[in-house]
Amino acid sequence: MLKLTNMALNLAMRELRLEPPARVLPKKGDPAKALKVMGAPAGMMPAMTKLVQEYASATDAGRRAALQKMYRLGGEIMKHAVIIAGLRARGITVPG
């Protein structure tokens, strides 16, 4: 319904020789939110967010180094997730 409304609005604006409104582009994702969705522990989020920012502003060699650090930290996150899943599977209540 919204798509039809927007199409009709754009046609009406063209007939009146007005320019349709500019398309709003979404902002780039928030690394902290993405990490939370992926299940990263809260204690590791600041370090991973810092690495994402470091990667974005680095040269090629700096990006390779940042990726290596991310892989290392990512391995720690996966180990943490596996441990938590194992505890929960055994009926142990684990926060977060």
> Considering the domain boundaries, does residue 10 fall inside one?
no
What pLDDT was estimated at residue 27? 62
Question: Mean of the pLDDT values across residues 74-83?
Answer: 76
- Lowest mean per-residue pLDDT among 18-22, 40-44, 66-70, 89-93: 18-22
20 located within any domain: no
The reply to whether 46 falls in a domain is yes
75 token code pair? 């391995």
Tell me whether residue 21 is in a domain. Answer: no
Residue 59 lies in a domain: yes
pLDDT tens figures, 4-57 = 677 777 777 778 877 766 776 656 667 777 777 766 777 777 888 888 788 888
By residue range, what is the domain housing residue 59? 28-89
CA dist 91 and 95 (Å) reads: 13
Q: Is 29 helix (H, G, I), strand (E, B) or coil?
A: coil
Our count of domains for the chain comes to: 1
In this prediction, residue 1 carries a pLDDT of 55
Tokens of 18: 């007005």
Q: What is the pTM of this model?
A: 0.47
